Structure 1
Amino acid sequence: MNNPRLVEGTTQRSYGSTSDSSFPSVGFSSSSHPELFALGESITTNIYTINSSLKQLDDTLKALGTKRDNQGIRDKVHVTQLSTNQIISQTTQDLHRLTAMIRGKDKQFKLQVEALRGRFKEAVNSYSSKQKQVADKMKFCLLPAEVARQDDEAQGSQPQSEEQLRQLHEQRLVQQDLEFIHGLQIERLQRVKQIEEDVLDVNEVMRELAAMVVEQEQSVNLIEDTVENAYERVEGGRESLEKAAAYQNKRRKKTLFLFVFAGGIFLIFSVLIYFTWQ
């Protein structure tokens, strides 16, 4: 899994993944856009935390059913999942805020937020998948102490032949199944149930992220419609001005014609009066 970074200069983080490749730059300037930068940094940190929790769950998965398995490791899974689920919920809200904040800004901002959203979605999917793997394995793996107790019971019977050993082994398997089915291991099942309840509803997170994309597209369409309407209003205004100018020129020509005509009539009358008096 790759790792995002918010950059202004050389800010960079490693996300604790199995890959050494780094995420492409995803950044906002802290000087010109301080609020965007701070929110982006917070989201980046949360993605790092989610990937760290993923690594912890992976380590736990490898330990389950081995000599390293113990109740402390299993209890830690519950604590890790509670805190990480809260971080995922908060990050989803932060991404929603960030999407709203970049409305009306240029395409570069939208690409940066889209990159963050993609890294977050990738981290959440991997984390949720690992949660389910851990819950399933915990359900079917006994703790070493439980296995040792059953071994002690088997050794106490002192079998005398291979047939008895085989029968005893089969009895152990049947007893284990009966204990699991009938609730003789209620405490263990309750712990497993608690872990299963902590498993993130990844579909809900994906729905919220998809809604952000739709909302962003609607915002872009609204901006385009606004620009188009403004252009139409400008064109309409220009046409109105042209009509007004044409009307004004026509009126001026008409007025000038009337003045010339009136002057001509006045001149004719003046000449007639002059010759009449002569």
Structure 2
Amino acid sequence: MSRNLNNPPAGHRDYGATSSSTNAIMPDVSFSGFSPTEFMSLSEDIGQNISAVNSSSRQLEKILKVIGTRREQQATRNKVHNIHAEANTRIDTISRDIQRLTAVVRRGDKQQKLQLEKLTNDFRNVVEKYSSVQKRITAAMRQSIEQLGQQQDEQAEAERAEFLQQQAQITAGLQFEQDMLVDRERQLRQIEADVLDVNAIMRRVYDIVQTHGEQVENIENSVENAATDVELGREELAKASQYRRSYRRKILILLAIAVIIGLIVTGIIVAKLTS
């Protein structure tokens, strides 16, 4: 009957029990005789568990190539833990089975004792190989964790620097926005002042336009009055011209009458003188 994994006592691990050490910790077993069946069963179990531990070593060697690379994940570390747990349990089982087999072959023949020695040597070799791979993968994982920690520290520092830079940019942005608000407030006050100035200018323009309108109206009135005066002057001139012409005619008539009267008087005088 096969016993590949016997549950060891809690907390007990014995890696690499050898033929020299098994005698020191050999359980007190009393035999009435050699049991070929138990020998075969123990030998089979030990051989299968040695093969399983050797397979665990090969699995760890494959995983060792992944440790510290981008392919390393939490599942990888979980797998390493599971392999360790299973292999350690098998090593405990092999150690106890070799102790039991040592007690069994005490009454066996030389062939069984040679078989025990071979299994013990195989167990020692596989444990040494497994232990070596186990130490290497543990060191690699420790280095990977340290590198990961360093990367995380560097990343945290980079994130902190980026955060500070972002904070500085945000602060600068807020300051810029504050300056923009102040400048906009100043521009708004300037615009308000400009609006007041425009209103004043518009009032002045209105006054100027109104005054100009009054002046234009006065000029128009003056022009109209001048035109009227010119027309009246023309009429007066026409009247004066007509009066002068009439006056001249009257003078001429009077002069003609005076000449005629003079001639008459002269004729009378001459007539009297000649008579």
Shorter-chain TM-score category? 0.3 to 0.5
Question: Which one scores higher on RCO, CA 8 angstroms, separation ≥ 6?
Answer: 2
Q: Greater share of helix residues, 1 or 2?
A: 2
Which TM-score applies when normalising by structure 2?
A: 0.41
Q: Bigger radius of gyration, 1 or 2?
A: 2
